[in-house]
Amino acid sequence: MQIRNATAIAHPNIALIKYWGNRDHALRLPANSSLSMNLAALATTTTVEFISDLGTDRVVIDGAEATASARERVVAHLDRVRALASLNTRAIVTSHNNFPAGTGLASSASAFAALSVAACAAAGLALSTDALSRLARRGSGSACRSVPSGFVLWNTCDEDDCSFGRTLAPPYHWDLRDVIAIVESAHKATGSTEGHAIAGTSPFQVARVASTPERLERCRAAILAHDFLALADVIEQDALAMHAVMMTSVPSLLYWRPATLAVMQAVRAWRAAGLAVAFTIDAGPNVHCICPAEFSTQVERLVRAIPGVERVLVSGVGEGSHLVS
């Protein structure tokens, strides 16, 4: 029996300019470019073992056998790696998230970033960061942004070979924090993949996509210049543009809860009173409160006091995906 194994770690990322909708669903080529920051405090660690006499792939996530649909998605990704490496061997994939299960933060981004890095190393493939990011994108679009380090820009384009994430600035460039207000822990009713598929049914998706380059440029410039108020404006605008599309899709996706709105309103009031903090929200009800590190203790304390906030996680800006063994 021959075993080839590798372990990789990856962080989820929070999009400051959102990816929503695809120009090619099968290849996960996004409708628009997006920009994110990796979250250092949250991590997925994944081991891939290719074992010569294994009859079928096995996938274990946080100590439990993966559901059929999760397993299928992982096996499809292993197949991509096997095709690149001309390998036939089945594998055992063991994945562990350090963020508590049931926080609504289970992230396909860190999952497919860690899986890509570990599976390629175990298969003996030495891919560049660009190529690993491209591969991770096929598993989950946002995963391509968890491969490079720090603040990451994912450019849209029409071809598979030019759509991947690249570092805009390293983690130490700007010590921002994401104070995550968890207002509901349940698994989301409609996942991102189904959401991307119906984005085009909203009359606002065309306008959102057309206006994204301008927001992306403002966001990029704000990050490079450490201009928090410019960043605050543009990330809130972009998140709301995405949620406007979600709400007006067919079927309509309404992810917010009363506590979601309570945190959004509070963030706006705190900012008006001089506290540097802004919100962004992914495909769920939890609110990511972005602030410079020096304000994170105060923001965390304020967020915890809002009724309906079940728990709070705080993260700085993280590195890219890498091998640990």
- Residue ranges that bind ligand DP6, judged by CB under 6 A: 15, 18-20, 28, 34, 108, 140-142, 192-193, 196, 282-283
Residue 136: which of 102, 100, 106, 160 has the closest Cα? Answer: 160
Whole-number minimum distance, CB 237 to ligand DP6, in Å?
A: 15
Whole-number minimum distance, CB 282 to ligand DP6, in Å?
A: 4
Residue 131: which of 114, 141, 144 has the closest Cα? Answer: 144
Q: How far apart are CA 136 and CA 237, in angstroms?
A: 28
Q: How far apart are CA 163 and CA 213, in angstroms?
A: 16
Phi, psi (degrees; rounded to nearest 5) at 165 = -90, 145
Cβ atoms of residues 240 and 282 within 8 Å: no
Q: Identify the residue whose tokens are 């984005």.
A: 199
| 127 to 13, 116, 134, 136: CA distances (angstroms) | 22, 10, 10, 12
Kindly tell me which of 142 and 212 has the beta carbon lying closer to ligand DP6.
142
Q: How far apart are CA 124 and CA 82, in angstroms?
A: 10
Whole-number minimum distance, CB 301 to ligand DP6, in Å?
A: 27
Whole-number minimum distance, CB 207 to ligand DP6, in Å?
A: 18
Q: Identify the residue whose tokens are 């299928």.
A: 72
Kindly tell me which of 28 and 134 has the beta carbon lying closer to ligand DP6.
28
Whole-number minimum distance, CB 19 to ligand DP6, in Å?
A: 3
Q: How far apart are CA 190 and CA 145, in angstroms?
A: 22
Whole-number minimum distance, CB 16 to ligand DP6, in Å?
A: 9
Kindly tell me which of 74 and 302 has the beta carbon lying closer to ligand DP6.
74
